[in-house]
Amino acid sequence: MEFNSKLGNDDDGEEVDRGRYQRLVGKLIYLSHTRPNIAFGVSVISQYMHAPKEKHLEVVYRMLRYLKVTPSKGLHFKKNTSRDIELYTDADWAGSVSDKRSTSGYCSYVWGNLVTWRSKKQSVVARSSAEAEY
């Protein structure tokens, strides 16, 4: 997805074939298990599976073009002499245009290898950036 792109439920867009959109997004969901770099974008576009518009399909096509030119990206597990465990977390504040809820996420590395990650839209609207990250 483009940096800082905001997708919403605009009524001015042209509707697209819902079945095709759902099949493409379903394949991207499956692929995101080994390509965590697309996981957030897939979670955003999957929110519009009930009524996709042209701009939503264009984001799907953009992701497919990205995957085509980056076949070597993905999870690679390597042997490492470093025995470190690293954890990272972040959240945005009111990042969703449609309902003003924040998205938080985390990832963990064991011995330099990514082993877990998650992003989730928060269930309540945060009133500050500190509350969104809490």
- Report the C-alpha gap between 40 and 5 in whole angstroms: 12
Cα→Cα distances 16→19, 49, 53, 54, 65, Å? 9, 11, 6, 6, 19
Give the pLDDT band of residue 2 (cuts 50, 70, 90): low
- Report the C-alpha gap between 48 and 107 in whole angstroms: 25
- Report the C-alpha gap between 42 and 97 in whole angstroms: 16
Instruction: Give tens-digit pLDDT for 66-111.
Output: 999 998 887 777 788 888 899 998 888 777 777 778 888 889 988 8
Q: Which two tokens stand for residue 119?
A: 């992003």
- Report the C-alpha gap between 43 and 18 in whole angstroms: 17
Kindly state the DSSP code that residue 119 receives in the 8-state scheme: E
- Report the C-alpha gap between 117 and 58 in whole angstroms: 26
The strand pairing partners of 114, in sequence order, are 109
Q: Of 51-55, 105-109, 113-117, which range is least confident?
A: 113-117
